[in-house]
């Protein structure tokens, strides 16, 4: 089971990274969304997989029933999902505003911060 | 996107989702749910309403700016952490009280108020983002 | 005794305290506030004066407080004859300089800042000479460099001042690093971190195989600070500073820090062939170079600056010469030089202040209008020229007494000393006599005697030079003998008097004076000759400094452009190449590859289906050629992940993922309808293959890493902890929620803070529009696949 997931996660990472290697901000954005899922699945699998039973303690008991899922990675992932979503939204807006201001989605043409032919800094004292 | 069907079903759906989000938030300590998921459901509710009736309708409906709601949530969460200071235990230690209201024992805790804070932060921030993006459509 | 230690500590910090107060005092009292501020160094001076009898009897004053006891560091001081003499010079001359500055910069709007820097420097220099621990010595050493930088660049609106300040900082700062390395060597070789304990190490240091390395590093510090050739060039440039700074830092005190260090180390590191070759060699060359360069100058301050350089060369030469008399000579000359050079600099400043020029060719006949200044200048120049009755005379007699011993080496250095001294006498007389004697020359300002604040300093210092010579017994008892003993590491009674004895030294003195007077009479021709000579030599280290600095700037620009070409693609590619290497290289190199797994048989049909769906979603995103396909396929892989969470017992995650994916698709659709952008892959085939290789390598790396880690044993320690306490202590049945809001609540607080900040950032990005839209610089896109 974990082996199959390892392969699946490898595919997730490969897809995400392939998209992020593009010059176009839209594809980078898509890659970023997938990368978040890849990382979450990685954490999830590393905490070992169990079927169906959620980590909820029954009314009569004080501890989890046998075969319940590992709660720790779930707690880590839950916040990670929300944070990567808000970060995704930020990048989305950044892409959008960048396109509005610079008229391009090609990162090669976004040279405002590091212009191509920047002159030497002043050599005086 | 403001079709007749959407306009008709949007108010009841929004209302239902908001109620459901509170339900999910409050049961979160013992059943699946909690502040994060509740906040997301509530934010989606507002987003749907916004798509149907426009952003200004949502802004009127919620009265406060979404980021103000988020700020309120962060304040509640932080204060919940500081309550423990008055009892002399470390920051963020969970404290419980069991007042009887109308004959029913009601467990209240700083962790619940903390989760409510989380709910408002997520609701406010995500709703703010969604509304901001919807708003641009009309300029 | 403890009281005395506390007072000493206070005295060490008094200058710093006064420095903090200086701007306020000057604002309140104007330039007269310098009288008040001078109290700080004066009180320190008086306190150190009380140590004189004890130290004169061969005692040592020590004290200190624990600083970082765990590192065996202490704030400790150590006052023997050498330190005490320096401390007295620093505080004594410092008192006069503070007063002089008040007069010199009267009415200057930045006088408060200036005095603040001067007093800061005083505190640093005082700390340097009394420091016992290596670390303290280094810290104070660097502090003097920094305050010197601030003072040289005081007039920071002129480029020349900025350049000189930077130059001084670079040269002395590099020297400081060299010193630090040398001190660390010393510490490693001896295990001692205190100067006062070094003496007990004995010959171990000299016989260590690292002796030469340590010596060269320490000399690097001393030679840069004391402006020895070829590091001398910063000193004349430092004359950009206001004259009080030149008088105080760049003649009387700071530049002697290097000499101080050499004198301090003489008992433990001296008397080796390396010491006795390197020091006299560099010192001698500096003496001759400085003396000749001084002749060609016509600016009073520059002439004095080069003679200072020459004097420092002489001191280094004597310190390294290796005979007891040479040590005595160095000690006497050091004290005499501080007095007469400080005085002459102040005179130069006074003349400049009153007459409006420092060009010696434009000055003359000031004798009648500035009588006090003239007398002070004359006394100082006579001491500098080494004429009888003056402290300078004692020094020069002692120098010749030490050098003239017959063998070839001694004769060579005697010749060097005669030429150097003779030329310095010429310069001293030019500075002290030329502006005052002769017919009256019209100057830019109508000259008259300066104020008390200004002539007090030169008069006192020049007077002391005379008194020291006449009452040589007292001077020797309290200053020369203890100091020479400290430098020599054994008792060295100094007994030379000002009454000339017939003999070799006197003869050499006469030769020197005769040579000097002869050159003085022909000064204009000598100057012209030097100008021609220097023009023939061409570039000096001063020009070289410019080349080095501009070379450094160009080099760093080139490096920056290489590692930051400004193309996101290259940054991302580099990042992921290194990620792939990090993931793949260690497992292969260390044989940590996972075992080859068997075909999974425990996967149910619906699980296969959902995994397949996720993979299809991913490929659809990769191949998407229009916006709608991209958004929908992104949604598919996201919902597939949500279902996976649900199937494997993570209900909370599943709900959250569903909500997030829905919202993502909605906002993505909202934005994409307005962005007329195609998500199609624009890459040419070669580029695609290259990127795909990187991506697949990374993916493979993650797969292998995860396989390896899941094949190992599972550490359930934390899980068990949460499981055991979730309901019992935290009263929650949903363990995931309990972890989030209770066990790891502080973490969650930070995370909702992040969510809040992204919300604000999005709002800011949407709301804020630049008032002037940025120019639409459409750069021609390079052809695809065009990688540098």
Domain layout of chain C by residue ranges: 294-521, 613-681, 716-768
Smallest CA–CA separation between C245 and chain A, in Å? 21
Please give the distance of CA B76 from its chain centroid, rounded to a whole number.
12
Q: What's the token pair of residue B5? A: 């069907």
Q: SS3 sequence, C351-364?
A: HHHHHCCCEHHHCC
Of A56, A78, A93, nearest to B36 by CB-CB distance is A78
Of C741, C746, C766, nearest to B115 by CB-CB distance is C741
Q: Which chains touch B (3 or more CB pairs under 8 A)?
A: A, C
Smallest CA–CA separation between B66 and chain C, in Å? 9
C22 with C115: CB under 8 angstroms? Answer: yes
**CA pair distance A106, A110, nearest whole angstrom:** 7
**CA pair distance C679, C440, nearest whole angstrom:** 89
Interface test mutation site (partner B, options A80, A82, A87, max chain B beta carbons within 10 A):
A82
**CA pair distance C482, C331, nearest whole angstrom:** 10
Decide: helix, strand or coil at residue A24. strand
| Chain C residue with the nearest C-alpha to that of A103 | C776
Task: Name residues of chain C where pLDDT drops below 50.
Answer: 774, 776-788
| Chain A residue with the nearest C-alpha to that of C668 | A92
C positions 380-409 inside 8 Å of A (CB): none
**CA pair distance C716, C721, nearest whole angstrom:** 9
Q: CB atoms < 10 A from the CB of C53, how many?
A: 11
Task: Name residues of chain B where pLDDT drops below 50.
Answer: 138-139
Indicate the Cα dihedral angle A111, A114, A120, A122, nearest 10°: 120
Q: What is the pLDDT at residue C780?
A: 43
Of A21, A45, A121, nearest to C694 by CB-CB distance is A21
Burial class of residue C521 in the structure, from the number of CB atoms within 10 Å of its CB (0-12 exposed, 13-18 middle, 19+ buried): exposed
Indicate the number of domains in chain A: 1
Of A1, A14, A124, nearest to C600 by CB-CB distance is A1
Smallest CA–CA separation between A79 and chain C, in Å? 7
Q: CB atoms < 10 A from the CB of C96, how many?
A: 26
Of C737, C756, C758, nearest to B29 by CB-CB distance is C737
CATH number (domain holding residue A104): 1.10.287
Measured in degrees and rounded to the nearest 5, phi and psi for residue C774 equal: -65, 145
Are C740 and A116 inside 8 Å of each other by CB?
no
Interface test mutation site (partner B, options C737, C753, C760, C762, max chain B beta carbons within 10 A):
C737
Q: Does C696 touch chain A (CB under 8 A)?
A: yes
**Chain C residues touching chain B at CB-CB below 8 Å:** 651-652, 655-656, 659-660, 662-663, 666-667, 670-671, 673-674, 730-734, 736-738, 740-742, 745-746, 748-749, 752-753, 755-756, 758-760, 762-763, 766-767
Alpha helices in C538-679 (DSSP H): 541-563, 568-589, 605-623, 627-647, 651-672
Domain-embedded: residue A93:
yes
Size of interface B-C (CB pairs under 8 A): 140
Q: What is the pLDDT at residue A77?
A: 93
Q: Does B109 touch chain C (CB under 8 A)?
A: yes
| Chain A residue with the nearest C-alpha to that of C741 | A75
Q: What is the pLDDT at residue A16?
A: 95
Smallest CA–CA separation between B115 and chain C, in Å? 6
Interface test mutation site (partner B, options C730, C755, C763, max chain B beta carbons within 10 A):
C755
Domain-embedded: residue A122:
no
Q: Which chains touch C (3 or more CB pairs under 8 A)?
A: A, B
Beta partners for C131? Answer: C77
Are B129 and C667 inside 8 Å of each other by CB?
yes
ipTM summary value:
0.93
- % of chain A beyond a pLDDT of 70: 100
Q: For residue A85, list chain B residues with Cβ-Cβ distance below 8 A.
A: 126
Please give the distance of CA C531 from its chain centroid, rounded to a whole number.
34
Decide: helix, strand or coil at residue C625. coil
C324 with C271: CB under 8 angstroms? Answer: no
Q: What is the pLDDT at residue C206?
A: 82
Size of interface A-B (CB pairs under 8 A): 22
Pairing of strands C61-68, C73-79: antiparallel
Smallest CA–CA separation between C776 and chain B, in Å? 21
Residue ranges making up the domain that contains A94: 2-51+68-109
Are B126 and A85 inside 8 Å of each other by CB?
yes
Smallest CA–CA separation between B58 and chain A, in Å? 20
Q: For residue B129, list chain C residues with Cβ-Cβ distance below 8 A.
A: 667, 758-759, 762-763
**CA pair distance C10, C17, nearest whole angstrom:** 9
Angle of the B35-53 helix axis to the B55-62 helix axis, nearest 10? 130
Q: What is the pLDDT at residue C679?
A: 67
> What kind and span of H or E run contains B101?
strand B100-101
Beta partners for C68? Answer: C73
Tokens 């290097």: give the residue: C258
Interface test mutation site (partner A, options C167, C542, C601, C641, max chain A beta carbons within 10 A):
C641
Q: What single-letter DSSP state applies at residue C370?
A: -
């Amino acid at each position: 089971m974990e082996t199959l997931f390892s392969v699946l996660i490898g595919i997730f990472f490969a897809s995400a990274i392939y998209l992020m290697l593009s010059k176009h901000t839209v594809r980078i954005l898509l890659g970023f969304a997938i990368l978040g899922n890849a990382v979450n699945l990685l954490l999830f699998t590393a905490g070992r997989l169990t079927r169906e039973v959620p980590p909820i303690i029954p009314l009569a008991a004080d501890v989890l029933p046998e075969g319940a899922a590992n709660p720790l990675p779930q707690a880590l992932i839950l916040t990670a999902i929300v944070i990567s979503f808000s970060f995704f939204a930020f990048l989305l807006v950044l892409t959008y505003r960048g396109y509005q201001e610079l008229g391009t989605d090609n990162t090669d043409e976004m040279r405002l911060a590091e212009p191509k032919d920047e002159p030497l800094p002043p050599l005086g004292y | 996107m403001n079709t007749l069907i959407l306009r008709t079903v949007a108010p009841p759906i929004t209302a239902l989702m908001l109620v459901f989000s509170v339900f999910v938030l409050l049961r979160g300590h013992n059943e699946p749910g909690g502040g994060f998921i509740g906040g997301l459901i509530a934010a989606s509710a507002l987003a749907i309403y916004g798509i149907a009736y426009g952003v200004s309708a949502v802004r009127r409906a919620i009265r406060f700016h979404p980021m103000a709601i988020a700020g309120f949530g962060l304040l509640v969460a932080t204060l919940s952490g500081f309550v423990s200071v008055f009892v002399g235990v470390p920051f963020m230690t969970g404290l419980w009280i069991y007042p009887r209201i109308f004959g029913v024992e009601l467990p209240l805790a700083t962790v619940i108020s903390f989760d409510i804070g989380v709910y408002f932060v997520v609701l406010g921030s995500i709703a703010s983002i969604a509304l901001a993006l919807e708003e641009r459509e009309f300029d | 005794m403890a009281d005395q230690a506390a007072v000493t500590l206070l005295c060490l910090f008094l200058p710093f305290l006064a420095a903090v107060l200086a701007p306020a005092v000057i604002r309140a009292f104007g330039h007269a506030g310098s009288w008040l501020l001078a109290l700080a160094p004066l009180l320190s001076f008086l306190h150190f004066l009380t140590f004189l009898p004890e130290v004169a009897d061969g005692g040592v004053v020590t004290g200190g407080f624990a600083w970082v006891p765990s590192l065996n560091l202490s704030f400790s001081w150590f006052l023997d004859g050498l330190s005490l003499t320096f401390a007295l010079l620093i505080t004594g001359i410092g008192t006069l300089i503070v007063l002089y500055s008040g007069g010199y910069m009267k009415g200057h709007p930045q006088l408060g800042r200036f005095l603040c820097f001067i007093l800061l420097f005083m505190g640093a220099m005082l700390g340097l000479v009394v420091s016992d621990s290596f670390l303290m010595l280094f810290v104070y050493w660097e502090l003097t460099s920094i305050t010197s930088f601030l003072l040289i660049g005081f007039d920071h609106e002129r480029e020349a001042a900025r350049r000189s300040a930077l130059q001084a900082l670079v040269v002395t700062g590099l020297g400081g690093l060299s010193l630090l390395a040398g001190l660390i060597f010393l510490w490693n070789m001896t295990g001692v971190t205190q100067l006062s304990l070094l003496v007990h190490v004995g010959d171990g240091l000299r016989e260590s195989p690292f002796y030469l390395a340590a010596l060269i590093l320490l000399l690097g510090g001393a030679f840069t600070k004391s402006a020895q050739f070829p590091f001398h060039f910063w000193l004349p440039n430092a004359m950009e500073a206001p004259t009080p700074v030149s008088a105080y830092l760049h003649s009387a005190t700071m530049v002697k820090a290097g000499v101080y260090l050499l004198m301090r180390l003489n008992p433990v590191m001296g008397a080796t062939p390396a010491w006795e070759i390197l020091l006299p060699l560099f010192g001698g060359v500096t003496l001759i170079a400085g003396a000749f360069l001084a002749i060609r100058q016509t600016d009073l301050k520059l002439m004095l600056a080069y003679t200072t350089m020459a004097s420092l060369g002489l001191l280094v030469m004597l310190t390294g010469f290796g005979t007891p008399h040479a040590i005595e000579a160095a000690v006497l000359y050091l004290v005499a030089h501080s007095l007469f050079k400080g005085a002459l600099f102040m005179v130069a400043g006074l003349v400049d202040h009153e007459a409006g020029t420092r060009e010696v060719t434009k000055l003359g006949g000031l004798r009648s209008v500035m009588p006090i200044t003239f007398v002070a200048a004359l006394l100082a120049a006579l001491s500098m020229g080494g004429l009888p009755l003056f402290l300078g005379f004692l020094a020069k007699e002692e120098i010749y007494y030490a050098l003239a011993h017959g063998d070839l080496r001694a004769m060579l250095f005697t010749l060097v000393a005669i030429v150097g001294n003779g030329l310095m006498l010429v310069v001293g007389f030019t500075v002290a006599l030329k502006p005052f004697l002769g017919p009256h020359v019209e100057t830019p300002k109508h000259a008259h005697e300066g104020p008390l604040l200004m002539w007090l300093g030169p008069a006192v210092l020049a007077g002391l030079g005379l008194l020291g010579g006449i009452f040589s017994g007292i001077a020797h008892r309290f200053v020369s003998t203890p100091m020479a003993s400290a430098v020599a590491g054994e008792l060295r009674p100094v007994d030379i008097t000002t009454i000339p004895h017939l003999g070799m030294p006197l003869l050499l003195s006469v030769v020197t004076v005769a040579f000097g007077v002869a050159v003085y009479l022909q000064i204009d021709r000598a100057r012209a000759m030097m100008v021609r000579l220097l023009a023939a030599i061409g570039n000096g280290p001063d020009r070289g400094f410019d080349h080095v600095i501009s070379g450094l700037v160009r080099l760093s620009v080139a490096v920056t452009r290489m590692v930051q070409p400004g193309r996101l693609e290259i940054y991302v590619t580099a990042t992921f190449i290194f990620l792939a290497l990090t993931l793949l290289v260690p497992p292969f190199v260390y044989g940590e590859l996972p075992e080859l797994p068997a075909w999974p048989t425990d996967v149910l049909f619906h699980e296969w289906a959902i995994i397949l769906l996720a993979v299809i979603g991913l490929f659809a995103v990769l191949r998407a050629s229009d916006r709608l396909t991209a958004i929908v396929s992104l949604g598919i892989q996201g919902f597939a992940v949500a279902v996976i969470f649900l199937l494997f017992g993570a209900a909370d995650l599943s709900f959250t993922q569903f909500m997030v994916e829905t919202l993502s698709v909605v906002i993505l659709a909202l934005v994409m309808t307005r962005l007329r952008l195609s998500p199609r892959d624009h890459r040419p085939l070669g580029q695609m293959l290259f990127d795909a290789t990187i991506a697949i390598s990374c993916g493979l790396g993650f797969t292998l890493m995860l396989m390896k880690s899941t094949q190992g044993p599972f550490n359930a320690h934390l899980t068990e902890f949460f499981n055991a306490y979730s309901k019992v202590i935290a009263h929650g049945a949903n363990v995931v929620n309990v972890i989030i809001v209770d066990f790891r609540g502080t973490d969650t607080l930070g995370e909702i803070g992040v969510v809040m900040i992204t919300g604000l950032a999005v709002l800011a990005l949407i709301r804020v529009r630049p008032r002037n839209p940025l120019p639409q610089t459409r750069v021609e896109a390079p052809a695809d696949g065009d990688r540098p």
